[in-house]
Amino acid sequence: MSALLELINPALENDSVYITLAVVFIGATMFTGLDYLVKNKWGNNSGGGLLAAITLDGIPENLALGVALIGANPLSIAALSGSILLSNLPEAAGGAKEMAENHSKKKVLLLWIATAAILAMAALAGHFLLSDVKQEYLNYIKCFAGGAVVASLA
């Protein structure tokens, strides 16, 4: 429900409904395809699906987050970063635990570190590269993430 309200609803209220729904569908389809590939490679209970979900949800969200941080004061940035870390930590810990059952702990740690680095780079890219982008396009980026989240919940 949160994905619908926070990620998809702003675009439905302010932008093209058809483009919004198409982007949500693309996000859901990409997640489903990647989840299928991960499960074929690592198995159903590997935690890889959760890694794919966090990455597909996180990249568009962090792009938009980077834009939102333009002009923010250091305290706001620290508070937001801390809340993101705390909200994602339980998911990451659960996924890492599942992955460690079938893979070396070193490999699992490196995968999650790489995921964290990719998400941090997405926030930096959003901050430095998307500062002049229209809100409409940022809404569509969030819709892609919303589609991935909805597919991961399904």
Total structural domains in the chain? 1
Candidates 17, 40, 21; CA nearest to 29 is 21
What the block records as the tokens of 134 is 């229209």
pLDDT digits (tens, 9 = 90+) for 42-67: 666 666 667 777 777 778 777 777 77
- Which domain range does residue 7 map to? 2-153
Return the number of other C-beta atoms located less than 10 Å from residue 44's C-beta. Answer: 9
pTM: 0.67
What beta strand segments (E) does the chain contain? none
Candidates 150, 147, 51; CA nearest to 95 is 51
pLDDT band, residue 23 (cuts 50/70/90): very high
More confident residue, 14 or 1: 14
Whole-number pLDDT of residue 1:
58
